[in-house]
Structure 1
Amino acid sequence: MFKSIKFVQTSLILKSRPIQFNYSTKSNIRNMEQYLAQAKEFTSFIDKSPSPYHAVQYFSEILKSKGFIHLSEKQMWDIQPNKKYFFTRNQSCISAFAVGGKYKAGNGFNIAAAHTDSPNFKVRPVSKVESVGYQQVGVETYGGGLWYTWFDRDLTVAGRVIVKSSDGSYESKLVHIKKPILRIPSLAIHLDRSVNTDGFKYNTQNHLVPMIASKLSEPVESKDKSESKTVDPQDVNSSTTKHHAVLLELLSKELGCSVGDIQNFDLSVCDTQPAAIGGALDEFIFSPRCDNLGMSYCAMVGLLNVKDSTLAEEENVLNVVLFDNEEVGSSSPQGACAPLINDTISRVNTSMFSSTFKPHELNNFIDLTLRNSFLISADMAHAIHPNYTSNHEPLHRPALNKGPVIKYNANLRYATTGPTSFVILDICKKNGIPVQEFLVKNDSPCGSTIGPIISGSYGIRTVDIGNPQLSMHSIRETCGVADITHGINLIQKYFEQFTKLDNIKSDLE
């Protein structure tokens, strides 16, 4: 009686009649296809970079494969023209630089700087929490996240673990448990009838504690025989007294070590859902950590795309710096408040310093380099939101897939000035790169970036830019497929063309 004749017929009809696109839609699809390959590379990078440590490791491996020499900050540097180098700090910050073939002490640095961190939850030093039969993991909020978006997500952990080796030494190893092991469940509407009228309210201390297992599933005795030999259950400093055994066993399995070998860790909570390209016309990237792995990726690929022949004729140093801890103020050795850029400039000038110069002249050359340098502060920007248009300044509404955004703020929350924005506008005009402009409304607060920090500390000319995105600081953000390519092209052309463009004169100089 209930034969699916109509449904079958409908299905057959749909299959036999291909969708008819009008000309403009076909054009959109054709135009978007040229950006998909780069966008897919970006989503692959996102999936491999669940923490700043993983992002830095990803870039380190690529830089080595492209001929960049790995430097140590604990050793002396021997820097040569027409060579490429990189170093890392804290495993979460990386600086890569290519020395122009015609570089001389005192010449400038063409810098593009971004940051590797994003808002998330950090596993607490003592994370062992229990409540009404559940084992939970105590976490601390990091940065200004849209924390409500973390409810009812399939979560896991990633980061670095300090492991004791068989020879008694210690090693920092990266870890990423890819299966969903954590969840922050929301409260059923039946128990909170006013949630849709009064808003979703939560307390970050009490309501953001992910569950990892039930109390009944906790192992009575560890399966790891070596643990009993190396861990004293009464030792308040041992991992087993601070964290649930089930979490430690998952980490030890992933790392290939015993639970007793785990000394400490820096772990972040992250989503297990991979980044994806979506929208009916494949225009959008749905992904975690667009802010700010999006601009970190564009900056590094832009540097890697510079041809060796171009570098041979370059007079400046081309430099990408990816800092950590921007989301919490940048005040760390690996953050933008640290003198990393100045340290790099000093060490490069020292290495390139001619023996014919007098020793006291070195500081003069370092000052010259700072004055001759330029910085792009690359951090994602706010795209116009279709459902909240009134939250945007009417004449400054960046759109997805329309190119990078120059960010302005009269109160210096961004470091952009007329001359520095002209540099970007001119490069984009000469190379056919779409570009947009943004500022907030007068009655709206404005976020900030590492741009004002660096420009204010060293007097380096700075412009703030970034690709547009929606849902900034959500666990799942949205950016444009085409903008990945546009962002890369802008950074690449900046590296290739800025030195020759840098001829803006002022009567006040």
Structure 2
Amino acid sequence: MSELKYAQDFIEFVNASPTPYHAVNTVKTMLSGAGFQELVERSTWPKLQKNGKYYVTRNASSIIAFTIGGEYKNGNGIAMVGAHTDSPCLRIKPISKRSSEGFIQIGVEQYGGLIAHTWFDRDLSIAGRVYVNENGKYVPKLLKIDKPLLRIPTLAIHLNREVNQKFEFNKETKLVPIAGQVALEKNSEKPPSCSDDPDLKMTPEQFESVQNVITRHNQSLIELIAKTLSVEPSQIEDFELLLFDHQKSVIGGLNDEFIFSPRLDNLTSCFTAAQALIESTETLSKLKGIQLISLFDHEEIGSQSAHGADSTFLPDILQRITKINYNGDTAIDYFHETMSKSFLISSDMAHGVHPNYPEVYESQNRPQLNLGPVIKVNANQRYSTSSSTIVLLKHVAVAGSLKIPLQLFVVRNDSPCGSTIGPILSSKLGIRTIDLGNPQLSMHSIRETGGTYDIKKLNDLFKSFFENYIDIESKILCDHL
């Protein structure tokens, strides 16, 4: 498959995945189409088999998928790629109903470290998860409204002559999208009154604000959600809805060298990890290890949730995998032996050098778009890369007939450094870890820029890692000085 075909498939993946719930669902579709079997955490698992292909989700926004090599033996290592499904965005508040100067407005809160000013004057829509009452069962449904609904308008330059010198705004009062006009809003029925219990101190409106989702949000919004899901408004129990850029991801540039897209950080890693895992199944019968991808929600806000990288999700799944007796001999706990032989690629996007701001980059470490994945290094362990993990990855990149170029990145000493899921999982599991990712511009903007040809390079690197890790790992000594 050509570089442009990989890029085009990735674009379709992004366009189908405006939220973590959609990203996981899209990955599930890819895996199911390749014959992967779904496992459920709350159920007893069937006996896992060599040559098996499996996946499991948590909260429908994080997913772990793995394959078991045909030549796997208990205690052999696991080749893991970790990434995250979430991106900085605006999220609808639990009570979002607002209006001002005749406009219907939607109250939103900031999720993660977004570049907030890039959300002004954009065609925005809504997607996420909606819980619906279906005959007494509360069922989650995916929502993606494929229509521009909202806009956060800027103030005209005639009324703000300093806007090109300094664009500052209050994120609570000015970062509020408009969704329509009050004059066109249909009259809503009054909600039923609450109990006359004298101990109840809430007003009827306050009580209903939690009990009845319809009273918390604009009527037109609720009716549009219900219509999109083919349910009645009264069936909607609650939801988690995000705003997203309605403009599609596209290939651009004079020579088709760029991808202009929302959510490159970090759907790039999610797509390439899933695609590479699927492609590696072509040689699954010959593989000696377990190949695994772990795509987490909530990385952009610190990973501390029941389904983030700092949760028990990955350790729980690894415990269940390593307790299986694959050899037919006496069953023992292989977890610690397996972890000592395992390796994690923590894949998150990297900062490509910006031609208009070259002064903010370290003089010798200036990654270029379309020149391959970037190994991220930090002496203070904001990234988990070490010399031994670099050695391993270098050999993965040139295994067989491959010649995947690699780049290096380190921040300037006078610049802060972000972090990833790498240090979290490395310290939690005690496994060797490297941090890397494709270079991009405009990270955390509503619209980011990446390299078209870097998609296949990262895909090929992950595939080589899955197929060659066990043989390469045995040659790289770490605790044998």
Q: TM-score, normalised by structure 1?
A: 0.89
Q: In 2, Cα distance between the equivalents of 1:374 and 1:115? A: 18
Note the 1:89-100 alignment, pairs <5 A: 89-100=58-69
> Hey, what does 1:8 align to over in structure 2?
none
The residue that corresponds to 1:475 in the other structure is: 446
1:345 shift after superposition: 1.6
Query: In the alignment, which of 96, 99, 112 is matched to residue 127 of structure 1?
Result: 96
Percent identity of paired positions between Structure 1 and Structure 2: 45
Q: Distance in 2 between matches of 1:397 and 1:181?
A: 39
SS of 1:193's equivalent in the other structure is coil
Q: Measure the CA separation in 1 of the matches of 2:348 and 2:362.
A: 19
Distance 2:386 2:432 in 1: 9
What SS does the corresponding residue of 2:114 show, helix, strand or coil?
A: coil
The CA RMSD measured in Å over matched residues stands at 1.9
Query: Within 2, Cα distance between the matches of 1:179 and 1:507?
Result: 57
Check if 1:335 corresponds to 2:308: yes
1:280 aligns with 2:248: no
Q: What SS is found at the alignment partner of 2:316?
A: helix
Residue correspondence of structure 1 range 285-324 to structure 2 within 5 A = 285-308=259-282, 310-324=283-297
Matches within 5 A, 1:85-484: 85-165=54-134, 167-197=135-165, 199-221=166-188, 235-236=208-209, 237-308=211-282, 310-352=283-325, 356-357=329-330, 361-362=332-333, 365-430=334-399, 431-484=402-455
| Corresponding residue of 1:14 | none
Residue 16 (structure 1) aligns with: none
Cα distance in 2 for partners of 1:247, 1:419 equals 54
Structure 1 runs, 4 residues or longer, greater than 2 Å off = 231-236, 351-358, 506-509
For 1:339, the aligned partner's letter is T
Q: What letter matches 1:296 in structure 2?
A: C
Say whether the 8 Å CA contact 2:277–2:463 is kept in structure 1: yes
| Aligned partner of residue 497 in structure 1, secondary structure | helix
Give yes or no for contact 1:345–1:369 (8 Å, CA) kept in 2: no
Q: Is the 8 A contact 2:31 2:274 kept in 1?
A: no
Distance 1:294 1:459 in 2: 26
Q: Aligned letter for 2:137?
A: S
Taking the aligned partners of 2:77 and 2:306, their CA distance within structure 1 comes to 24
1:101 shift after superposition: 1.2
Give 1:339 shift: 2.1
- Per-residue deviation at 1:50? 0.6
Q: SS at the partner of 2:323?
A: helix
1:355 to partner: Cα distance:
7.0
The separation in 2 between residues aligned to 1:400 and 1:496, in whole angstroms, is 26
How many angstroms does 1:195 deviate by? 1.9
C-alpha displacement of 1:191: 1.4
* Partner SS, residue 195 of structure 1: coil
One of 451, 464, 477 as aligned partner of 1:505: 477
CA deviation string 1:240-267 (max 9, x = no partner): 2100001001100100001110100010
AA partner of residue 485 (structure 1) = K
Going by fraction, where is helix more abundant, 1 or 2?
1
1:427 CA displacement: 1.9
Structure with larger Rg: 1
Q: Does 1:491 align with 2:462?
A: yes
| Matched residue count | 466
In 2, Cα distance between equivalents of 1:382 and 1:507: 32
Shift of 1:221: 4.3
* Amino acid aligned to 1:475: I
Gaps spanning 5+ residues in structure 2: where?
A: 196-203
Task: Report the 3-state secondary structure (helix = DSSP H, G, I; strand = E; otherwise coil) of the residue aligned with 2:467.
Answer: helix
2:43 alignment partner, one of 53, 72, 75: 75
Question: C-alpha distance in 1, partners of 2:437/2:327?
Answer: 38
Cα pair 2:369 2:439 within 8 Å, conserved: yes
Match for residue 200 of structure 2? Answer: none
- Whether the aligned pair in 2 keeps the contact of 1:285 and 1:481 (CA below 8 Å) is yes
Partner Cα distance (1:376, 1:355) in 2: 31
SS in structure 2 of the partner of residue 186 of structure 1: coil
8 A contact 1:377–1:450 mirrored in 2: yes
* Amino acid in structure 2 at the alignment position of 1:327: E
Residues 143 and 507 (structure 1), Cα distance of their counterparts in 2 relative to 1, 3 Å cut:
closer
Q: Which runs of 5+ in 1 are unaligned?
A: 1-32
Q: Deviations over 1:376-416 (max 9, x none)?
A: 00001000001000011111111111011100000100000
Measured at CA, do residues 295 and 357 of structure 1 come closer, stay the same or move farther in structure 2, by a change above 3 Å? Answer: same
**Match among 17, 38, 46 for residue 6 of structure 2:** 38
How big is the shift at 1:307? Answer: 3.7
Answer yes or no: is the 8 Å Cα contact 2:90–2:108 preserved in 1. yes
The one-character-per-residue Cα deviations of 1:421-478 (angstroms, maximum 9, x if unpaired) are 1111122234111111111100000110000000011111000010000000000000
